Structure 1
Amino acid sequence: MAKTFLKIAAIYFTVGVLLGMTMGIMQDFRLASVHAHFNLLGWVSMALFGVIYHFYPKAADTSLAKTHFWLHNIGLPVMQIGLAIEIVSGNSVLLPVVIVSSLLVVVGVVLFTINLFLQLGSASVKQKKDISV
């Protein structure tokens, strides 16, 4: 799971950076919140999940981790696409979609937290070998 989280994080980072560059070129910053969410919930959070799961592999091997992964990666893009359409069109018809997809992300984060609390005491941190010369 750790590598999968990190790979997806890199994709979100690319999307966030490209969106930021596009907004800068066009001098239209209406999608700044979408850009920020892709970078924070996509890049930063997913990368942190991946690093944490790397150091706590028992936590990564749980059904909570897998459910968290899918909830986050279904909820985040749907939420951001819906939000972007709302911002650009000025129409709030997709508000229920944005709300439900936001809740998917929230539930995923809660599952991550529960998973860590359940696994942290029993998971061992990978030890780095000390090579002294």
Structure 2
Amino acid sequence: MENTSTTAWFKLAVLYLVAGVALGLHMAKSGDHGMYPVHAHINLLGWVSMALFGLIYRQFPALAGNKLAKAHFWLYNLALPVNMATLFMYLGGNVAIEPVLGVASMVLGLAIAIFAINVVKNAK
């Protein structure tokens, strides 16, 4: 992954920051804080984790240019929006969506495991 891909991590992280803040403001305005788990996950898995991934890949270029980094990027960025949407639906009462939420969560876990393997193998 070249520098543009670290930039992609940062740009996507900022989108999650905006979404997390918007959801937080909506909950504050409405007085309904029932979606606080979604708010927390958007901020942690979206804003914080993605910004850190970008910083780590920029700091350690050997991590960024391999197949593990590409798998991490695509799995994480395909699973995270599905995970957030299905968590929102599940907390809203749609319990039938739970299997999709579970699969998206497992894919996120796999992406994080791939990142960890990449760090252990290639960080110098």
TM-score, with length taken from structure 2:
0.93
**2:122 pairs with one of 119, 123, 132:** 119
Give 1 or 2 for the bigger CA radius of gyration.
Answer: 1
For residues 107-126 of structure 1, what are the alpha-carbon distances to aligned partners after superposition, in whole Å with 9 as ceiling and x for unaligned?
Answer: 000000100111113xxxxx
**Cross-structure match for 1:86:** 90
Equivalent residue runs for 1:1-133 within 5 Å: 1-88=5-92, 90-121=93-124
Give, as a single letter, the amino acid of the residue that structure 2 aligns with 1:94. Answer: I
Aligned residues: 120
SS at match of 2:95: coil
Structure 1 CA distance, aligned partners of 2:122 and 2:87? 35
For residues 59-94 of structure 1, what are the alpha-carbon distances to aligned partners after superposition, in whole Å with 9 as ceiling and x for unaligned?
Answer: 111111111111111111101111111211x23100
Give, as a single letter, the amino acid of the residue that structure 1 aligns with 2:91. Answer: I
Structure 1 CA distance, aligned partners of 2:119 and 2:43? 23
Identity %: 42
Structure 1 CA distance, aligned partners of 2:8 and 2:123? 20
Unaligned 5+ runs, structure 2: none
Structure 1 CA distance, aligned partners of 2:39 and 2:82? 14
Structure 1 CA distance, aligned partners of 2:20 and 2:69? 24
Structure 2 CA distance, aligned partners of 1:91 and 1:11? 26
TM-score, with length taken from structure 1:
0.87
